[in-house]
Amino acid sequence: MDHLLGILTKPDNVPIVLMLALIIFYTTYSFRKARRNDRREGSEEADLGDKVQVWPNLVKVEFLAALVVMAILTVWSITLNAPLEQPANPSLTPNPSKAPWYFLGLQEILVYFDPWIAGVTIPTLIILGLCAIPYIDINPKGNGYYTFKERRFAILTFCFGFLVLWVSLIVLGTFFRGPGWNLFLPWQEWDTHRVVALTNIDWSELFGVPTHRVDDSLNPAAMAIGTITILAWFSLGALYYVWKRKGDVLRRLGPVRYTIIAALFLIMMALPVKIILRLVLNVKYILVTPWFNI
Amino acid sequence: MFGIFETLREKLRRTDVYKSIFRHAYQDTQRNRALQILDNVFLHLHPVRVSRHATNVGYTWGMGGITFLLFIVLTVTGVILMFYYRPAAEYAYDDMKYLMNDVAFGPLMRNMHRWAAHAMVITVMLHMFRVFLTGSYKPPRQFNWVIGVFLLTLTLFLSFTGYLLPWDQLAIWAVTVGTNMARATPLLGHEGPFGAELGMKVNNDVRFVLLGGTQVGPPTLLRFYVLHCIFLPLIGSVLMIVHFWRVRKDGGISGPESETKKN
Ligand code: HEM
């Protein structure tokens, strides 16, 4: 119990508790708003469409918001000191070594993917994917009001990425990861000596095809299985296209937009799939090559 | 008693100095309210009139504005911290200690800088979430969303570079974990796919450029300091100016009516 309180009130973890509360609040709040809008004729926002003067109507709200934020920030800064630990010592590695909290989701993914994917490719794809959103989501509905019904796929996909893959992995990394990056419950004492036996195997080995041959060189059969698996995963996008290409949605999207959406979507979904494969079947790599592993 | 203040205020209002600063009286007329906005360089970021739902906290959550407020708080407290902080490995940590123990209001300034930075990361994420949920990235606001994504990345980098500056165990190891990723950059990192094939070594790859060495050390401190205090805030300010300008030029806060207007 002490451990739980300690971890929740560690100065640098307080913002994460705050973030979690805000995210739960705003998610519930906006989904309720969306449901109300979806059930009525025209949105609530449209009822407030008349023009008002910025002075005083908007300036007043901004001033009040600024006051509240400054009050919270001042109290927070008086009551809680920013951490200052022992002086930097390059030869004394703390265990666990954690990145700043907003990168803990990415650090968590390091368990399941090599650094070139978790630390470089995924962040790059997140940024590019976010930039692409306005250009690949061409559904004209739901612009300027809360709704769910009119843009189900967009909202579900974004919420999955943001709430599940970003926010909850940050929470996992902060509160559930201890020494050796092993899983601990938040109220469990950290045991620095705990060793978790690694019994990981590669994907092809599930089918009895070893990754390495007896002379330790890579087994081409294993590489073929890995490559085929990855191609099969991405060909789901092509299959869906063939199946639905006559439909309204895909016709409007066109092949280029569709390809980008499908690729981003499948890459994003590959993440939880790999996490589950690791947790359930101890799978380490899907594909091992001389240059990189996936 | 209060009559004196009344008279004094009236006198003051009629002086040349007062009239040169404040252009008009505080009258509750349409015209005066419009002038309050138009004649003030800061307030005229706003239009004179907006639709009612744009002033509704339930719609925007005020998150963009709060993010901006926090950025200003960070600029002010950050400048004060700079008076006491030297970005050299032999001084940095002691300067922090000094600031926390011996400088009047030192802890308040540092705490406020730290917590406002964390808060800004949270509010910028929430702002993006709101913009997504109201579909506000849809035409004509597509590009402003892209500028927003750059602002998000920049906010994270600002926070990350600042994390190193206290030069304590927390700082160097968090930054070590973070920057270790750069070794694995495809093509450009010495442990990344095809990195070795392209001649990347521990002392010439992208991580080396970032750190100014093969591990987090004094040159990294200086690099992160310059990025944190000069380069990134400068770029951020420019992007924010563009961001706010675009909000105006794209027709103000999004709303149900903008959809029909466009079509
Ligand atoms: C330093 C970071 C940022 C600051 C200071 C900022 C500030 C603002 C402000 C003050 C507004 C006016 C409306 C409001 O308060 O919600 C706004 C609107 C907007 N922001 Fe940001 N923003 C930032 C980051 C972002 C990010 C990360 C995104 C998206 C990825 C984004 C996309 C937009 C869009 C599309 C609008 C127009 C919304 C509408 O018309 O309803 N901004 N921003």
- The verdict on residue A153 lying in a domain is no
Q: Which domain holds residue B111?
A: 60-160
Q: Provide the shortest C-alpha distance from residue B119 to chain A (in Å).
A: 7
How far, in Å, from the CA of B2 to the mean position of ligand 1? 46
* pTM > 0.80: yes or no: yes
- The verdict on residue A256 lying in a domain is yes
CATH classification at residue B156: 1.20.810.10
Q: Which domain holds residue A224?
A: 197-294
DSSP 8-state symbol, A79: H
Please give the share of chain A, as a percent, with pLDDT higher than 70.
Answer: 99
How far, in Å, from the CA of A20 to the mean position of ligand 1? 21
CB contact under 8 A, A80 and B137: no
- The verdict on residue B15 lying in a domain is no
- The verdict on residue A135 lying in a domain is no
Q: A51: part of which helix (H) or strand (E)?
A: strand A51-53
Helices B63-82 and B106-133, axial angle in degrees (round to 10)? 150
Task: Give the per-residue pLDDT at B257.
Answer: 67
Q: What's the pLDDT band for A1 if we cut at 50, 70, 90?
A: low
Task: Give the per-residue pLDDT at B260.
Answer: 45
| Exposed/middle/buried for residue B29 (C-beta within 10 Å: 0-12, 13-18, 19+) | exposed
- The verdict on residue B227 lying in a domain is no
One-letter identity of residue B263: N
- Enumerate residues 51 to 90 of chain A having a beta carbon within 8 A of any beta carbon in chain B: 51-59, 61-62, 65-66, 69-70, 73-74, 76-78, 80-90
**pLDDT tens digits for range A55-101:** 888 999 999 999 999 999 999 999 999 999 999 999 999 888 899 99
**pLDDT tens digits for range A11-56:** 888 999 999 999 999 999 999 999 999 999 888 888 888 888 888 8
- Enumerate residues 144 to 183 of chain A having a beta carbon within 8 A of any beta carbon in chain B: 144-147, 151, 155, 158, 162
- The verdict on residue A275 lying in a domain is yes
Work out the average pLDDT over A130-147. Answer: 95
**Dist. CA A233–CA A230, nearest whole Å:** 5
- The verdict on residue B132 lying in a domain is yes
- The verdict on residue A268 lying in a domain is yes
Task: Give the per-residue pLDDT at B262.
Answer: 39
Of A111-120, A128-137, B197-206, the least confident: B197-206
B117 lines ligand 1 (CB under 6 A): no
- The verdict on residue B257 lying in a domain is no
CB contact under 8 A, B62 and A61: yes
Residue A85's DSSP bridge partners are: none
Higher pLDDT, A185 or A36: A36
Look at chain A and report how many structural domains it folds into: 1
Look at chain B and report how many structural domains it folds into: 1
Q: Rounded to a whole number, what is the distance in angstroms from the first to the last CA of chain B? A: 63
Q: B49: part of which helix (H) or strand (E)?
A: strand B49-51
With a threshold of 0.90, tell me whether the complex ipTM lies above it: yes
- The verdict on residue A265 lying in a domain is yes
**pLDDT tens digits for range A198-236:** 778 899 988 888 898 888 889 999 999 999 999 999 999
- The verdict on residue B119 lying in a domain is yes
Task: Give the per-residue pLDDT at B263.
Answer: 36
**pLDDT tens digits for range B11-32:** 988 899 988 888 777 777 888 8
Task: Give the per-residue pLDDT at A235.
Answer: 96
Residues from chain A that touch B112, judged by Cβ atoms under 8 A, are 73-74, 77
